[in-house]
Chains A and B, each alone.
Chain A
């Protein structure tokens, strides 16, 4: 017979690792089970990009957006927008994927059962983060490949450094996702809130334009979002665009954002999780 060390009621380091792998594997299987949705997640961003692309053409001569260079420092408008699209897909994944992950469990009736298991709920969320990051990376790279082939994509900078810069931003974003998932669990009918929040964050962080082009009264909202500096730094590293702040400062901001968001996300998650357990609303829709 096995020893008590293997019992689920006494979780150890290895059982937690197995849990992490099992959650990640489960989400992976569920995602690919619906191939039409997977195809849609690759093609949808392209559909949103097409009007931006043709609009860019309407303002360009020989593919060079001369007016755009005045704000950004590059005439390579479509690459600018494509980078925004790839990074924006992670924001989508956090708002819709991570945000609704617990609500989905609630809808499918497995949330209470899962939470009865002697497993760290934060670890369950971390497992989901791994899959979400992996899947979003795969789908956004596919989207980039297709749209790059259709519209053209070129970079002049250091890809490795850009990836290193983007990592703390993504970790911070997913830290926020922990808090957001718990909030959706409390609010339940949160589609409109998620839709509007996602749209506003993407609008103000400048997914398809430099935020300096915003009207003056809206610029403070953009500058208050840490993601704005992440987008800005990555574009500078890949396209040589002008930055809002000196690059080391923007990278420092990303690292601070990451740390704050991890602490904030875990704190909010724990508080809201405690609240739904106390109120007994885990199983109520």
Chain B
């Protein structure tokens, strides 16, 4: 009846993890996160309702500012270089929502484990601890791909946004944006475990993105010092590149400068995230603070 398991084989010894066992553990984390995600049906609202109602406020405001006979549109065209304010706002807000969800989900992934009382237990297993954070990022990434697709379709359906760009280039921008958006989430997760109740920090970071990255307006309307700040935020480049790729019909050559900057930011944030995680992990082991609320 029983299968023969060689408990001395490196792959089966819990104390000496191999690459295969690490991958299995990583797969386990991804699966666990996926089960938790499906367990709470409020994701349906997050997935289908928010993409419509969040940009709606800005879109209706822009509609009011444009005026009943489009008197404000000419001015917007001069400052933003486009009259397509619908697409302009839709893309700005979708990037903001993406980063916001990553901050809440990936950023609070370890904190959730801490609150549930499973963080210490998990960390006692001989698994690379970074897997726990990467695993939640992968699950989140899958759901966000669906979210981005649903949002794009809903913008088209409800607001009449028309995309005249290249889908391949849009996907390329999304790929280039992933390291910096998730790197920030991973770095944030380590801070949250240390700082515990860190909701205010989420408000701060997403507020900065909302103010400086031009989610609903061209950067040129901000004062010079604010434009200087915006250049240090990767989301500025994600929004700009995405607008060019999806609405402006830009070519790869035109997008290349933004893509290179995005990848540089991505590498930097992933390294910062890993370093912060290592520091937090070492500190937690030394102080025994990992189980404290």
**A-side interface residues toward B, CB under 8 Å?**
36-37, 40, 43-44, 47-48, 50-52, 54-61, 65-72, 77, 81, 189, 191-192, 196, 199-200, 202-203, 207-210, 213-214
What's the Cα separation between A20 and B218 when bound, in Å? 51
- Are the C-beta atoms of B61 and A203 separated by less than 8 Å? no
Q: 15 A–B contact pairs at CB < 8 A?
A: A54-B214, A54-B221, A55-B216, A55-B217, A58-B221, A59-B65, A59-B72, A59-B76, A60-B65, A67-B73, A77-B65, A189-B42, A196-B53, A203-B53, A213-B64
**B-side interface residues toward A, CB under 8 Å?**
42, 45-46, 49-50, 53-54, 56-58, 60-73, 75-76, 79-80, 200, 203, 207, 210-211, 214-218, 221-222
- Are the C-beta atoms of B75 and A60 separated by less than 8 Å? yes
Residue of B42, B50, B70, B210 touching A51 (CB-CB under 8 A) = B210
What's the Cα separation between A213 and B61 when bound, in Å? 8
- Are the C-beta atoms of B75 and A58 separated by less than 8 Å? yes
Contacts of B203 in A (CB 8 A): 40, 44, 47
- Are the C-beta atoms of B72 and A66 separated by less than 8 Å? yes
- Are the C-beta atoms of A55 and B65 separated by less than 8 Å? yes
Chain A residue nearest in CB terms to B211: A50
Given contacts A40-B203, A47-B211, A67-B71, contact A58 B76 (CB under 8 A): yes
What's the Cα separation between A208 and B67 when bound, in Å? 14
Given contacts A40-B203, A69-B67, A192-B42, contact A213 B75 (CB under 8 A): no
Give the secondary structure class of B's interface.
helix
Contacts of B62 in A (CB 8 A): 55, 59
What's the Cα separation between A40 and B211 when bound, in Å? 16
- Are the C-beta atoms of B67 and A40 separated by less than 8 Å? no
What's the Cα separation between A34 and B145 when bound, in Å? 37
What's the Cα separation between A38 and B283 when bound, in Å? 31
Known: A40-B200, A47-B211, A52-B58. 7 other contacts (CB 8 A): A55-B58, A58-B79, A59-B66, A59-B72, A65-B72, A67-B69, A71-B68
Contacts of A196 in B (CB 8 A): 45, 49-50, 53
Contacts of B46 in A (CB 8 A): 192
What's the Cα separation between A48 and B67 when bound, in Å? 22
- Are the C-beta atoms of B75 and A52 separated by less than 8 Å? no
What's the Cα separation between A213 and B62 when bound, in Å? 9
Per CB-CB distance, the 3 closest pairs between chain A and chain B, nearest first, are A67-B72, A67-B67, A213-B64
What's the Cα separation between A40 and B203 when bound, in Å? 8
Contacts of B73 in A (CB 8 A): 59, 67
Q: A175: shortest Cβ distance to chain B, in Å?
A: 25
What's the Cα separation between A68 and B76 when bound, in Å? 12
- Are the C-beta atoms of B70 and A67 separated by less than 8 Å? yes
Interface-central residue, B42, B63, B69, B217, by most chain A CB under 10 Å: B217
- Are the C-beta atoms of A203 and B57 separated by less than 8 Å? yes
What's the Cα separation between A51 and B71 when bound, in Å? 21
Q: A258: shortest Cβ distance to chain B, in Å?
A: 27
Contacts of A210 in B (CB 8 A): 64
Q: A89: shortest Cβ distance to chain B, in Å?
A: 15
Contacts of B54 in A (CB 8 A): 199
Residue of B65, B79, B217 touching A67 (CB-CB under 8 A) = B65
Contacts of A54 in B (CB 8 A): 214, 216-217, 221-222
- Are the C-beta atoms of B64 and A72 separated by less than 8 Å? yes
Q: B202: shortest Cβ distance to chain A, in Å?
A: 11
Q: B210: shortest Cβ distance to chain A, in Å?
A: 6
